[in-house]
Chain A
Amino acid sequence: MTIKIANAVIAVVAGIGGILVLYLLMNLIVERLPQRWGDRLRPYAFVGPALLVVGVFLVYPMVRSFILSFANGDSTAWVGLTNYTDLLGAAEFRETLVNNLLWIVVVPVFAVIAGLAVAVLADRLKPTAEKVTKSVIFLPMAISFVGAATIWGFIYTSRPPGQPQIGILNAIGEVLGFDPVAWLQLSDWNINDFLLMTIMVWLQAGFAMVLLSAAIKNVPEETVEAARIDGAGEVAIFFRIVVPQIWATVTVVFVTILILVMKVFDIVYVMTGGAFGTNVIGVRFFEELFEFGNDGRAAAIVVILTIAVIPVMIYQVRRFRIEENAR
């Protein structure tokens, strides 16, 4: 225990100290160079280490994963496209892809709706009540996916009929006269998938609310007033005046949650381990890597995931360019 803590302290001191010494040294070298060379090289001394870290831990492994996805399980022989054809040919993997598709549609939509509803309604409260309400909705953002999975596992838990139901969902069912249901094993109509998605909506609604609330407060009051004078009702004002003006933020929130959900791992891993038809790409990848020890197929799975992210990546870089030019 003490050794671990000492290690961490050394890591912080040596890590940060080492980094500062490195920059100081590089700066000294650059200062000694003739001015023309110094000016030319100095920026690279500043960005170099960051680019090196990004290169070693993100770019290179990404390229390497792509290469490994054409190799066999222990990366000793090339197998061409076999990993991809095996995966896409298996009904089990196609079901996993469909589940992921459900996740990336359902979760962002409901998180945005919940966040928007709270943002709009809380806007009408007194400041203190508004603050408390928003804090309550935002609080789950602090909780880890594993923690959230435990919290909701307790809600969904079921026991044989006759024993007291300690999970609130089955307890309510009992009061209404239903038999206890093993909710997470209920794969008809993807009910268990939706129950897992509920957890993510619960976690992410607060994020949606914070950004949307700020956007709503930024809608010019005159536009709302003018509509009201023209006799528009509150609902019409919301959908025809407010929503168009906050649409950019809605898109941002939607895309942000979508990216998060594409990679979902923890919740499914902890709650069902991907069983009962709930598997998703993140868990499938982990299984392939650790349970089956097939590096090639694991790499192929994440390459598929990364390819799915590329449109978002392009969109992001493009928006960034536009924004830069507007600066």
Chain B
Amino acid sequence: MSTPTVSTTDVPEEQRGRGALSGSDGRRADAKRGSLLPKIALAIICVAWTVPTLGLLITSFRSEDAVDSSGWWSVFASPFDFGQWTLENYGDVLGGAGMANAFVNSLVVAIPATLIPIFVAAFAAYAFTFMRFRGREVFFAVIVGLLVVPLQVTLVPLLQFYGDVGLTGQFLGVWLAHTGYGMPLAVYLLRNYMSGLPVSLIESAKIDGASHFQTFWRLVMPMSVPALAAFAIFQFLWVWNDLLVALVFIGGGDNEVVTVNLAGLVGEFAADWHLLTAGAFITMTVPLIVFFSLQRFFVRGLTAGSVKG
């Protein structure tokens, strides 16, 4: 499930999700522990990976004067110089720059665009897994192939069509587009998961007289919750972090989402880093909350879905 590009066999099930970010079991660690060099190398890598985000976070809480007159690292020399700290940047970005409005828009775009595809995909995945019908292999091969199609290839015709029917700038247009773009991945993930469910259970439900609809609703859906959650998290973050689709179908103005707002700020206030850093951090809050609270599902969802076009 974690590697839709190719294979579900490369990474054993017990390593996925559960162990993805967790420590090793100590099975082999004892033998090699003790050497200092790897620890130093890792420490350097960790610092290099953290510094960019740390600089952003610190700068977003510093006053305009402080940001302009010294680098953010100077706060380590004088952390108790309270004159430099402020929440004003956040106030300015949320209010004046319209980030608060964009934040609500992002939620309005991302939540329906996450929930709507799930059910459609689940029914299809059930049919691909447990039903025999003409065209099954071909349809599924097409879905696998579509996983990697760059979504840019759909934009010109869809934009023309949306222009004709008045859907540009509307939330409905992006909800539908994201439902379409998320569908191949959702069907693929759910079908892979469902084909790992015990067939005997489904067979015995059939013998007990359950229809396909009942089996799907009462048995398969509840058992597929981990895969549904992984897809939901991936799709939500994908839509939340997306710039291209939002820019093309909604653009700027009253309905703009956080990524479009931030990209606009970068263009408009190119040198006002106290504002840009606060704006960037606001756009990152939701993904970071998901990261820290749902890390297990988060890793599973992102690694599973990273091929999406």
Contacts and interface: CB of A to CB of B under 8 A. Distances in A.
A140 B46 CA distance: 12
B148 A144 contact: no
B154 A46 contact: no
Interface stretch (A50-58, A86-94, A101-109, A186-194): A50-58
A309 B150 contact: yes
Contacts of B120: 19, 49-50, 53
A128 B147 contact: no
B300 to A, nearest CB: 9
Interface residues of B, number: 139
B180 interface: yes
Nearest to B50: A136
Given A210-B299, A259-B148, A317-B144, A142 B52 contact: no
Interface string A153-167: 111010000001111
Contact of A166 (B67, B108, B139, B148): B67
Interface in A131-146: 131, 133-146
Interface string A110-147: 00001001100111111111110111111111111111
Contacts of A51: 124, 139
A42 B212 contact: yes
Given A23-B123, A215-B11, A123 B175 contact: no
A72 interface: no
A298 interface: yes
Contacts, number: 402
Interface in A238-287: 248-249, 251-252, 255-256, 259-260, 262-263, 265-266, 269-270, 282, 285-286
Nearest to A135: B21
Contacts of B68: 164, 166
Interface string A69-92: 000000100000000000000000
Contact of B150 (A165, A218, A306): A306
A317 B145 contact: yes
Nearest to A52: B120
A290 B156 CA distance: 10
A43 B131 contact: yes
Contacts of A134: 21
Given A151-B56, A221-B27, A323-B7, A49 B123 contact: yes
Contacts of B128: 47
A167 B277 CA distance: 13
B86 interface: no
A214 interface: yes
A141 B33 contact: no
A68 B19 CA distance: 48
Nearest to A49: B120
Interface size class of A (residues with CB under 8 A): 35 or more
A299 B156 contact: yes
A164 B306 contact: no
A286 B151 CA distance: 13
B156 A295 contact: yes
Contacts of A44: 133
A226 interface: no
Interface stretch (B36-44, B75-83, B200-208, B223-231): B36-44
A61 B290 contact: no
A212 B156 CA distance: 38
Contacts of B41: 117, 121
Nearest to B37: A121
B23 A58 contact: no
Contacts of B2: 210-211, 214
20 contacts: A43-B133, A46-B127, A46-B216, A49-B120, A53-B117, A117-B45, A140-B49, A142-B290, A147-B280, A151-B280, A153-B266, A166-B67, A207-B306, A214-B19, A265-B152, A305-B150, A312-B148, A317-B145, A320-B141, A323-B6
Lowest 9 CB-CB distances: which A-B pairs, in order? Answer: A57-B180, A127-B23, A144-B241, A50-B124, A46-B127, A61-B154, A43-B133, A64-B157, A130-B23
Given A8-B107, A144-B283, A265-B243, 18 more contacts: A15-B175, A24-B213, A43-B133, A46-B123, A46-B127, A61-B156, A64-B156, A114-B45, A117-B41, A123-B32, A151-B53, A218-B15, A266-B243, A266-B259, A305-B153, A313-B145, A316-B148, A317-B141
